[in-house]
Amino acid sequence: MPSSSSSCSSSRCGSHLVVKHHVVRCSSASSSGHSSQGARLKPARRAARGVGKTLAGIRRHRHHPLLQQLNAEAVHFDDLFSERDACGVGFIASMKGERNHDVVDKAILGLGCMEHRGACSADNDSGDGAGVMTEIPWKLLASEMAGVEEGKCGVGMIFLPQDEGEAKTCRDFITRLAVERGFEVVGWRDVPVDSSVVGAMAKETEPVVAQIVVKQDLPTYEELDRELYILRKKIEQEVFEMYGPEDECYICSFSGKTVVYKGMLRSAVVQNYFLDLQNELFETAFCIYHRRFSTNTVPKWPLAQPMRFLGHNGEINTLQGNLNIMNSREKLLNHPLWEGHEEDLLPICKGKGASDSANLDRVAELLTKTEFDVEPTMMLLVPEAYENHPDLDTKYPEVKAFYKYFEGLQEGWDGPALLVFSDGDKVGARLDRNGLRPARFWQTEDDYIFVASEVGVLGDVFESAAKVVRKGRLGPGQMLSVDMRKGTFSTNIDIAKMAAAQKPYAEWAKNIKEIEGFAFKGECQLSAADALEMQIAFGYGIEDSQLIIEAMATDGNEATFCMGDTIALPVLSGRPHLLYDYFKQRFAQVTNPPIDPLREGIVMSLAVRLGKRGNLLKPEADSVVQANLSSPVLIEDELEEVMNTDFLQAKKFSTFFKAGSDMSKTIEKICKEAEEAVRAGCQCVVLSDKPEVGGFKDGKLSAEDPAIPILLIAGAVNHHLIDQGLRTEASIVCETAQAFSTHHFACLVGYGVSAVCPYLALETCRQWRMSPKTESLIKKGRVSNISIEDCQFNYRFAINKGLKKILSKMGFSLLSSYQGAQIFDIYGLAKDVVDTSFVGSVSRIGGMTMDDLARETMSFWNQAFPELPSKLPFFGFITSRPTGEYHAANPEMSKLLHKAVGLGGKNPAIENFRVYQEHMEKAPITTLRDMLEIKSDRDAIPIDEVEPASKIVERFCTGGMSLGAISRETHEVIAIAMNRIGGKSNSGEGGEDPIRWVPVDDVNEDGVSDSFDYLKGLQNGDIATSAVKQVASGRFGVTPHFLANANQLEIKIAQGAKPGEGGQLPGKKVSPYIASLRRSKPGVPLISPPPHHDIYSIEDLAQLIYDLHQVNENAKVSVKLVAQAGIGTIASGVAKANADVIQISGHDGGTGASPVSSIKHCGGPLELGLAETHISLTENQLRDRVILRADGGLRCGRDVMMSALLGADEYGFGTLAMIATGCIMARICHTNNCPVGVASQREDLRKKFPGTPSDLVNFFLFIAEEVREEMAAMGYRTMDELIGRGDLLKQRDVPLEKTQNFDASFLTQYAGSSSMVSSERISQATHSNGPQLEDTIIADKDFQNAVETEGTFDITTDIINVDRAFGGRIGGHVAYRYGDNGFAGSININLNGSAGQSFGCFLVGGINVKLVGEGNDYVCKGMAGGEVSIMPPADLQAEATSSVVIGNTALYGATGGRLFASGRAGERFSVRNSMADAVIEGVGDHCCEYMTGGCVVVLGPVGRNVGAGMTGGLGYFYDEDESFCSKLNTEIVIAQRVKSSAGEQQLKGLISDHFEKTKSKKAKMLLDNWSNELPKFWQIVPPSELGTPEAANEDIETEVMVEQNA
């Protein structure tokens, strides 16, 4: 049975030397179950297709069964999504190539430092994976086996089946194949292991580990390795025939140089398990090590890392697209070296059963075994963000040419990635383009290079300091490499120059034709009537025209809306929808981060290529002859240019079909015609629904010839070309009327289209601009007077911006990687449709068939013929009106509810609630749960036998609505009401006023309190604290005091209204009160970034959970996710990361303002997310570890029952809580003009707020009573009995208007029981971090005395890297008692060593920490006061000023305090800092990003994008080499010299303090030469600081930087 609190994941070791021997247990949950998720969630294989068989006869022929089964189809989402991971990696290498056993021991020590970056299975003992890659231990092998000869032998490290007979069979066929390939088998060797150290779950699948040594006399190592590679591939093909894709017999490595020892192990037992690693004869010059954290609870031995070439920390977001393209280019891959073996090498990648790392490894391996050096291989696979790169632009254009050339051959494998790799001669490391994983390196005087995910790997920091001659880190897109044969160590630009010089890439890149510089049409191309006919026929509604297209044409922005998506899922609706509406965009959560397109757009590109991609294995001048587009949105003349570009041989295909005919036949015909054209040399297939292309009379549409939905035909052609192995031979372009919103373009590109010419959307812009109505509005000044060209420019600008946002939600930087990646979930399409056009995407609920879609297409088409209506139809998909689509939350239901609860403290009436209930029951089908009904297995019971409402309401919560988005009155009334009933309110983002944390005791008989005089209906004893306090990405108001006063802490990963996006509070809502809580300035807009800058992976989430448990060990930590396919795997990872609560939100909830496209097209239904999460957690035996909370669009007791049966323990209400307290669903929340003061900060409107706590109490009691009635009818007495009983649900027998193929079976499964009932889960103790270094300090009587008396306490002790989040517990302890800065005493802590992650987090005033050594990432996270100083040991040989002393993302969310660090920091220094001061001697990219206050002084080099989104505070940058200006983001801030005396004083004061605290040589130099050096400083000033004394100019002209980033 899982324990109620997890064991320690960072148990502290007494000394550094002990780390490797210390048994470090995992923090993950216990479970011994076997996941059957794959089977349960797996879509039927394509081979079993029924309706899709119309295209089946033209599938690509493959000879080998492996090829037939794996590669004749596109990659399936479910096959990939079950393996998500992140990890810790590193290596040690001797530059001189000296082999010794010490390298192994040192690597094992480093691996021990990574334990907390990995995870374990449910038994807390079976590691998700750990291992090492080394040189082959020739000495050891030769001591055991005669005939072993380095240079002639290769060694295969093999996992054999446990069954003796099967293992023998495998040995036999491997031997046979080796002999067939001309090898002599020198011998087999059982690798000695100690199985007693393997965890119980890992033991179940523990393979027999064996080595085979084979020999062949070949001229070079390279030839030997190629022969071994072919042999391994042939073995894999044979294994597949025997076992399928399950890797029953798996080759860890088969090489003449390297060997991999790995398994489902924890770091600490790798050396214990593999006895070879203890053998002194095991000598190597390098060792790569890796520790894995898998979201899957039943990880596999083969997926442990390192792989054969690389070890990976991070995740490849673009995997599905990468695999699809890789599979379809296989036919093109040839090289003289592989002549005759082309089929032997296939498949290159492996979809099912392989992780992203394993697949990338396979591609990298192929390239390096062909003719590529390791460094260029990694550069082209994981390219740097080479555009807008100041250094590359000016100094290294040849490097840009390299990237530009290869962009046309190989799409990037994009996502967070620290990759360490080796081919046996070189060892290196590469970081992703956005620098999302940490990578530190050290060079020692005896020529060893260490690289690791974090510090501490060298052991004792004082001992190693004297040996370290260089310390550094990898920045975004950077690389390092050790050539052990040549004895060299190279870093980024030297490597890039070497790679770029290998071939004349600059010359070759001239074959890329730019299509640009064409003008928009200057006049309408259609008559108004013809335009209207086309708009109606193609499905445009008045909302599409006005709220989508015209809104973008007006000012280049998407329209904003609020209160979620309240209409029916399209498949449930009776109204026709465009095909795009059945697709929901996927978004990144937890396992990978979204990108920030606003502030970090420098890493993004929408460029796309048209034309054939040449042979990747043999890049030559003619391999990349392509057209380049800067955006996939083509205007008419650009398309014309494409058609006229000779080498493309572009050809148009009409996409109309005959009304009444079989649409799928026409699709098949077009696919075949496109195939034939491509075979004949066409490199650009243009699918067109332009009437001219259809050949209709007068260029007008024909009533008899509707157009196939463009997404349907484009997807079909894409997959047909994939099937035919032709996909890389040609691009697909659409010329279509059926694309006008950002979502439409994203869908088309996502399913393989390179570019889209939206001719009717452009015409709609033109028609709008030239219409009399617009002319009149312009005259009245209500619309700005823009030209017809400008409105088209604005439209395209908005689409491009929206596309970047959609890409960024999933963490994509490059449109070229997004293309064909199919990053969508489908809700409401049947198998025949998916199998034809959207192969591999998830569609769980069935729905519209080809015939249904043809009918739906006709229903739009028929509206335009024969009579043309006078205007566009109103569908009501966005706004609610009686003639339009039904909206589930609407003014009528709000009126009924107000009456029922007695809004304003009046008497509630159950009979009025019945009216509300009846209204809900009669409402049209809107949600998936509306398609379900309860079928009980018991007889009804009297209602008094059912548990009381008071017990049920304790399970109710309210949504995370921020104070700022809603008014103070609403926020506090909701909190008070929830506290009255024992439920939980949620603070949302933005902090909370401490006066709310004490009960009210001054309420008079009128229900009014002096301290809360703006509220009505109070009672003495009421308390306005929010039980759940939220930690969102902006970290506004997240101080130690806030955290220490929480019952629960919620990490908001995503929100239902706009998953994958950040938040924004408009300046007009930032009142002085709101600004004070958020530590910002009134009137300044507050933006929360899309990612949490401390969560770029699952292991990062585990760290933040750890930090929060550290600062408040009593508060449960919940993680808020949004439903989408694969959420079960994510939730399992979150449970393993030690969360106490998981909240699943549906896409339709959300109360805040969001872009319309985000509200409508992202996130999945609550029901599916809930069911998948509950099933996955139960099957993985993690269910009892977490409380599962449902949230999103719940409106009545029946919704609660449904959520309970689907598995939820607790139930959240957002919109309904607002309605119950007064919201009338006017839906103008985003304007600050809410007429009832619910969602406004305006004083006048807030006075109109009608709600009282009793209104919400009454609502929840009514809901609870409704639940009780349902329970009584079912014969169930307690909620505990029915939670998770999906089998008590069945699909309702109600016909849907549009399809008969809806299938709710996914929702009606019984996942099985778990060992606890729901109420036991809820009452479990909070998960623990285990014993902590800080516990010993807090237990010290002198410390307690100092805290009690506000006295002084001093202590000196050691720290090692497993001591994580140091300072958080002491900070929380003091903050709970004294607040963030109320402690008048002094706690002084001196530490020596390498500090773990989040050092100095959540410190408060009065706590001073000094560290001699080095820090990791997240130093001073959330610091509110106190001081941290960090300096290297005095005898560090390397120059301190140029050495890295702390990692990434320091001071994230700091609200006070001071940091002095003598050395450099990584990326995002001081991100979202709002009040802290800091001095540092060099930083990476994105310094001061989103800063709203405080002061940062940087005394050394800086990376790019300084000051992005910085709205407050000041920065001072010492610009020695005059390069600073090119690094500044001038969107908001300006740079000026330090001219005011207050500014100089501030700067000099901080540098003086820096010197005093750290003895920095740099600081001393500056102070000694102050008058000479001061002019070299730039002061960075946002507008809000311009008037301050520090930034003001005293009689000297301001030197304002030229706008560079406009």
List contacts with ligand SF4 (CB under 6 A): 563, 1218, 1223-1229, 1234, 1236, 1238-1239
Burial of 215-244, coded b for 16+ CB within 10 Å and e otherwise, reads: bbebeebbebbbbbbbbbbbbbbbbbeeee
Gap between the Cα atoms of 1067 and 738, Å rounded: 37
Helix, strand, coil share (%) of the chain residues, nearest 5: 40, 15, 45
536, 528 Cβ separation under 8 angstroms? no
Gap between the Cα atoms of 144 and 157, Å rounded: 16
> Closer to ligand SF4 at the Cβ: 953 or 1229?
1229
Gap between the Cα atoms of 1396 and 12, Å rounded: 11
707, 857 Cβ separation under 8 angstroms? yes
Task: Please report how close the Cβ of residue 1259 comes to ligand SF4 at its closest, in angstroms.
Answer: 15
Dig out the tokens for 1279 from the structure: 């909620």
Max Cα–Cα distance, the chain, nearest Å: 99
E runs forming strands in 216-296 = 250-255, 258-263, 286-294
Gap between the Cα atoms of 53 and 665, Å rounded: 11
935: number of Cβ within 10 Å: 11
> Closer to ligand SF4 at the Cβ: 563 or 760?
563
> Closer to ligand SF4 at the Cβ: 932 or 1223?
1223
> Closer to ligand SF4 at the Cβ: 814 or 1234?
1234
DSSP of 481-492:
EEETTTTEEEEH
> Closer to ligand SF4 at the Cβ: 498 or 1228?
1228
Task: Please report how close the Cβ of residue 1069 comes to ligand SF4 at its closest, in angstroms.
Answer: 12
> Closer to ligand SF4 at the Cβ: 826 or 1217?
1217
> Closer to ligand SF4 at the Cβ: 1239 or 1550?
1239
Supply the DSSP symbol for 76: P
Beta bridge partner(s), residue 584: 825
Q: For this structure, is 349 an active site residue? A: no
- Phi then psi for 1185, rounded to 5 degrees? -75, -25
> Closer to ligand SF4 at the Cβ: 316 or 1218?
1218
> Closer to ligand SF4 at the Cβ: 718 or 880?
880
870: number of Cβ within 10 Å: 7
988, 963 Cβ separation under 8 angstroms? yes
E runs forming strands in 630-766 = 651-654, 684-688, 731-735, 755-757
> Closer to ligand SF4 at the Cβ: 1115 or 1225?
1225
Task: Please report how close the Cβ of residue 1228 comes to ligand SF4 at its closest, in angstroms.
Answer: 5
- Residue 617 half-sphere exposure toward CB, CA atoms < 13 A: 22
> Closer to ligand SF4 at the Cβ: 1230 or 1285?
1230
> Closer to ligand SF4 at the Cβ: 534 or 1238?
1238
Task: Please report how close the Cβ of residue 891 comes to ligand SF4 at its closest, in angstroms.
Answer: 9
Which residues touch 876 (CB under 8 Å, ≥6 apart)? 543, 567, 883, 884, 885, 887
Gap between the Cα atoms of 956 and 974, Å rounded: 12
Dig out the tokens for 837 from the structure: 């056009």
Which helix (H) or strand (E) element contains residue 374?
helix 374-381
174, 166 Cβ separation under 8 angstroms? no
Task: Please report how close the Cβ of residue 1233 comes to ligand SF4 at its closest, in angstroms.
Answer: 7
- Specify the 3-state DSSP secondary structure of 1546: helix
Q: What radius of gyration do the chain's Cα atoms show?
A: 32
Task: Please report how close the Cβ of residue 345 comes to ligand SF4 at its closest, in angstroms.
Answer: 60
Burial of 190-201, coded b for 16+ CB within 10 Å and e otherwise, reads: ebebeeebbbeb
State which amino acid sits at residue 85.
D
Task: Please report how close the Cβ of residue 1151 comes to ligand SF4 at its closest, in angstroms.
Answer: 7
In the numeric block, the tokens 């373009």 are attached to 745
Catalytic residue among 8, 26, 87, 684: 87
Which helix (H) or strand (E) element contains residue 1345?
helix 1341-1349
Count of helices and strands (H, E) across the chain: 53, 50
* Closest to 1223 (Cα-Cα) out of 889, 788, 733: 889
Dig out the tokens for 453 from the structure: 């995910």
Task: Please report how close the Cβ of residue 1321 comes to ligand SF4 at its closest, in angstroms.
Answer: 34
> Closer to ligand SF4 at the Cβ: 488 or 1233?
1233
Query: What is the rounded (10 degree) CA torsion for 1448, 1453, 1454, 1460?
Result: 10
Dig out the tokens for 829 from the structure: 């399409």
Task: Please report how close the Cβ of residue 1224 comes to ligand SF4 at its closest, in angstroms.
Answer: 5
Gap between the Cα atoms of 525 and 519, Å rounded: 14
Task: Please report how close the Cβ of residue 1226 comes to ligand SF4 at its closest, in angstroms.
Answer: 3
277, 270 Cβ separation under 8 angstroms? yes
Gap between the Cα atoms of 345 and 67, Å rounded: 10
Task: Please report how close the Cβ of residue 970 comes to ligand SF4 at its closest, in angstroms.
Answer: 8
- Phi then psi for 1171, rounded to 5 degrees? -60, -45
Task: Please report how close the Cβ of residue 964 comes to ligand SF4 at its closest, in angstroms.
Answer: 13
Gap between the Cα atoms of 1319 and 1406, Å rounded: 41
Task: Please report how close the Cβ of residue 1225 comes to ligand SF4 at its closest, in angstroms.
Answer: 5
Active site residues: 87
